[in-house]
Chains A and B, each alone.
Chain A
């Protein structure tokens, strides 16, 4: 679960000192959801921020609302698995039993979950469980994980929201043709017009913009809404656009659309750049071809890294409170105040970034489409 819980963070920063004191007194830690890392590490050398942060920004098989250990409140999500051995298996993630950072098992003993990654039971020892691509290649048995994870769930929610909101907006337009927009439509229309007039038309021209606008609008609003959903506290800290699988798909669509719409001019420039001396060609052509793939890859990394980084920074401020709180109660309070101030500041920046990244992704996609469909005129 992410740390974007401002009201909670505020309380947490101030309570951090008390929390650590309680810990020292041997009481069960109940304050603050951020203490899982503390929980894991308390026997040894104190709070380790790294696994704590990674746990909160990484995708998960459940939505962790708050609390730790037995008192934690999780919303289980559907786990959908396919393997040759067991066929298709669908069950809720609550079927996994186990504690904390340990390996959890399903009751039937078929599957196990370790650090949020599901594998076939028994295969865990032989292969690196951090493999992460959902495949398990060991022992000739492959496990395909089609689970509705937290990010997938968030994505589906955003998609449904898009259909609902824009469906209603479109109905509004149909109902009052030629009228000034009102209500919901009034909110969405400037953004639609922004994407059309400031992203699509300048990059593609009036005529071609029409062709690409459905894609650009869908991408823009999906990224924007997903980014904003990640900023809403108390709902499990979604990190949808910080999930590399989802941004990879968006970037792949950009790549495919660019390639399928590329005209003679575009491919000509790629494979035989005009005006370049022949002896430079062996250098230029590979660069151009690498660039073709690099563009969408950078698109993917930029979005993922920006959104994830924002989450990580805020989590780091929380970790600071916990780290200082461990050494002294006063330091915990003191750092807590400053950390909270910085977190509020970061939160504002994150709001900006949510818009900015949606804008940049869409703009660059439009520019790539524009390059691919640009007519030669020289």
Chain B
């Protein structure tokens, strides 16, 4: 049992020497290069991943930009359409109003013309009627006052009728 539990002198010496030699040897020719290589590779992988990430975000930004542009274009188109429609409506409305105005003015003119005509006609008719009635009256008078007695009777009558007293 002692053989198991007591460190043997020779073993300790060999182990110390071998371990030191191997550790320095490995540090120089293995651990150094391996760890450096690992680190470099990890860094390059990390850089590559970063780059990919950046590219992806750039892509997204680009996409968003495109979308925004498209949206803007669409909005602009809509605005233009609306404007055009409004303009057309306005034009039509204006034209309508103008036409209506014209029509009413025309009607007014016509009405005034008619009124003038009527006045003229009435005036003319009045004159005609007056002339006619004078003529009739003349004729009547001529017949009434054709004899002396008839003239006398009339004078009497007029005297009777006048309120001289």
Contact = CB atoms under 8 A, between A and B. Distances in A.
Contacts of A174: 33, 37
Nearest to A221: B26
B32 to A, nearest CB: 8
Contact of B34 (A57, A146, A170, A308): A170
Contacts of A214: 23, 26-27, 31-32
Nearest to A132: B6
A178 B4 CA distance: 47
A162 B29 CA distance: 11
Interface in B1-22: 1-16, 18-19, 21-22
Given A173-B33, A174-B33, A145 B9 contact: yes
Contacts of A155: 14-15, 18
A134 interface: yes
Contacts of B5: 132, 244
A136 B156 CA distance: 205
Interface string A351-369: 0000000000000000000
B14 A132 contact: no
Given A117-B3, A159-B18, A170-B33, A149 B27 contact: no
Interface stretch (B38-46, B110-118, B128-136, B138-146): B38-46
Interface in A237-282: 242-246, 248-250, 252-253
Main secondary structure of the interface of A (DSSP, over half): helix
Interface stretch (A67-75, A96-104, A188-196, A323-331): A188-196
B22 A162 contact: yes
Interface residues of B, number: 36
Given A178-B40, A249-B12, A133 B7 contact: yes
A54 B26 contact: no
A116 B14 contact: no
A149 B9 CA distance: 11
B16 A249 contact: yes
Given A170-B30, A210-B35, A250 B9 contact: no
B16 A130 contact: no
Most buried by B among A149, A167, A170: A170
Nearest to A308: B4
B2 A249 contact: no
Given A130-B2, A213-B31, A59 B38 contact: no
Interface size class of A (residues with CB under 8 A): 35 or more
Interface SS of B by simple majority: helix
A234 interface: no
Interface in A158-174: 159, 162-163, 166-167, 169-170, 173-174
B6 A196 contact: no
A152 interface: yes
Contact of B31 (A152, A166, A250): A166
Contacts of A250: 15, 19
B89 to A, nearest CB: 70
B6 A146 contact: no
B8 A132 contact: yes
A156 interface: yes
B33 A193 contact: no
Contacts of A243: 8, 11
Nearest to A57: B4
Contacts of A147: 10
Nearest to A244: B7
A163 B22 contact: yes
Contact of A217 (B2, B19, B25, B26): B26
Nearest to B20: A253
A134 B9 contact: yes
A80 B10 contact: yes
15 contacts: A54-B4, A59-B8, A116-B3, A146-B13, A156-B14, A163-B26, A170-B37, A173-B34, A192-B35, A214-B26, A215-B23, A218-B31, A222-B22, A245-B7, A249-B15
Q: Which 3 A-B pairs have the closest CB atoms?
A: A245-B11, A134-B9, A166-B30
